[in-house]
Structure 1
Amino acid sequence: MNKIKKAFDTIHAKEELKEKTRQYIYDNVYNKKHSFNKNKSNKLVLALATVLIMFITISTYITPVMAISIDSQSSIQFEVNKFNRVISVSAYDDNTNKIIQSLNLKHSNYEDALDLIINELESKNIIDEDTYVNISISTKDNNMGNKVLNEVENKYKEHYKNLNCNNTDASYQNEAKKHNMSVGKYQEYKNSQQNNPNLTIEEFKKSCIDQCEHKNQQKGKNK
């Protein structure tokens, strides 16, 4: 407004007319320009906030907070995000690799994914009600781990007589990935090492987890 006033001071006309003209220019040009810049700035802030929210949401969605592995004659593992959705699935032999490719498990609820895997393993005669089945829950969130563990035990223990469900040390996840093993089988390897310190991980990987568990039980009885 001061710039407009200075410009009008050099014009010779009645003060009333000059004042009205000054006010008109200020209201219709100067104010509108600043209003436009303000609106433009607000839109930019809103756009940046939207992008940030999208980034945080996507980042949260693709971050695993829990791994669930099903180990018996074969092994399958899937990772779950904080929304209880499956974000990755891993198989460790040709048979289970075909199974996970046929099931399309990604983005499904982890309970549905577990049901589909168990049912498919049974339909392919990989497991039955007498088979030793190890289901491992691995997460840093103890409350989540205990909740899922209880759900799994209550759901499957009556049908599978030799079902073993456990919370697995979350620190094993990276080591298991490094050795291309499920976290449940890797924990069994660590348990087996207590009875057989000379056992190599390559030897263990060639064994089914039910065979390993049987050996561990036998050695435990012989101590």
Structure 2
Amino acid sequence: MDKDKNFKNQFREAFGQIHAEDELRANTKDFLARQINKKKAHTFPILKTAAAAACLLVAVTAGGAWLYLTPSAYISIDINPSLELGVNRFDRIVSIEAFNSDGQELAEQLDIRYMDYSEAMEELLSEQTVEAYLENNAVMTVTVAGSDEEKTDQILENVETCTAGHSNISCHSGDMAEMHEAHSEGLSFGKYRAYLELKSLDPSVTPDDIRDLSMREIQDLIDSYSGDSTDTDNSSENGPDSENVHHHGHGRHAGEE
């Protein structure tokens, strides 16, 4: 009897220990679950805030990149190479577009992207191909167009300073609408304005007639129609919109409306 009683007591004690361990495990699980939920509750707002901040950073970065890479003004450069430089609102060159094969070759030789436009102009003028053209009495026109008139005038003034040492470079300003017209004809802005001036003297002239001509050749045609030599008048009185034409040499390379 005593053995049976002792066995039953041992059995109850063992069972009680097992039950206690099960209860301890259950309580431990509940405790851990509560702690995890607390952490989640604290972590979720932090994650939401971090995600919102990340989205804002992406938006600001994307917006800033768009702002930086978008031209607000253009500098059209025409000799025989024809190309246009896009200038952003921070005065940096952000695009270079060639309008003929010579322009493409020149663009590939230049390393001026993201350079200040004044420095870019000096770099361009010192490029060997451009120097050779200017030394051989080529005519070069620089035409500035922009959406902001004050900014356009500022760029034009600085460009004039850069080109002041060259008597055969003329500088002009124009508007964006006319520049878009030039592009619709497949011409750079500067060459398009020369085309308009020639067309005013000979209405039969088409963009294709002058597309592959150098600015010197176009100017010679203009002079032949007007009866002037290329070495005569250095003034800007030859166009009705001459107040928008700034020049160091021939001031009649821009077609006027």
Choose which of 180, 199, 205 in structure 2 pairs with 1:199: 205
Choose which of 160, 164, 177 in structure 2 pairs with 1:171: 177
The residue that corresponds to 1:91 in the other structure is 98
C-alpha deviations, 1:163-197, integer Å up to 9, x for none?
Answer: 21010221133333333321111122222222222
Choose which of 49, 56, 60 in structure 1 pairs with 2:63: 56
The residue that corresponds to 2:133 in the other structure is 126
1:45 counterpart = 2:48: no
Contact 2:71 2:87 in 1 (8 A): yes
The residue that corresponds to 1:155 in the other structure is 162
Residues 90 and 33 (structure 1 numbering): CA distance in 2 closer, same or farther, change over 3 Å?
closer
Choose which of 209, 215, 219 in structure 2 pairs with 1:213: 219
- 1:209: Cα distance to partner? 1.6
C-alpha deviations, 1:145-171, integer Å up to 9, x for none?
Answer: 1111111212322x2112210102211
Structure 1 unaligned runs (5+)?
1-26
Residues 146 and 184 (structure 1 numbering): CA distance in 2 closer, same or farther, change over 3 Å?
same
Choose which of 54, 62, 74 in structure 2 pairs with 1:67: 74
Residues 216 and 137 (structure 1 numbering): CA distance in 2 closer, same or farther, change over 3 Å?
same
Contact 2:80 2:102 in 1 (8 A): no
- Which amino acid is 2:75 matched to? I
* Count of residues in Structure 1 that have an aligned counterpart in Structure 2: 198
Distance 2:112 2:136 in 1: 24
Contact 2:106 2:129 in 1 (8 A): no
Residues 123 and 155 (structure 1 numbering): CA distance in 2 closer, same or farther, change over 3 Å?
closer
Structure 2 unaligned runs (5+)?
1-33, 229-237, 239-257
Choose which of 112, 135, 139 in structure 2 pairs with 1:105: 112
Contact 1:136 1:166 in 2 (8 A): yes
The residue that corresponds to 2:188 in the other structure is 182
Distance 1:119 1:136 in 2: 19
Residues 69 and 123 (structure 1 numbering): CA distance in 2 closer, same or farther, change over 3 Å?
closer
Residues 129 and 203 (structure 1 numbering): CA distance in 2 closer, same or farther, change over 3 Å?
closer
- 1:215: Cα distance to partner? 3.1
State the TM-score, normalizing by the size of structure 2.
0.67
Distance 1:43 1:185 in 2: 53
Choose which of 149, 154, 159 in structure 2 pairs with 1:142: 149
Contact 1:67 1:79 in 2 (8 A): yes
Shifted more, 108-117 versus 89-98: the winner is: 89-98
Distance 2:128 2:78 in 1: 11
- Which amino acid is 1:113 matched to? A
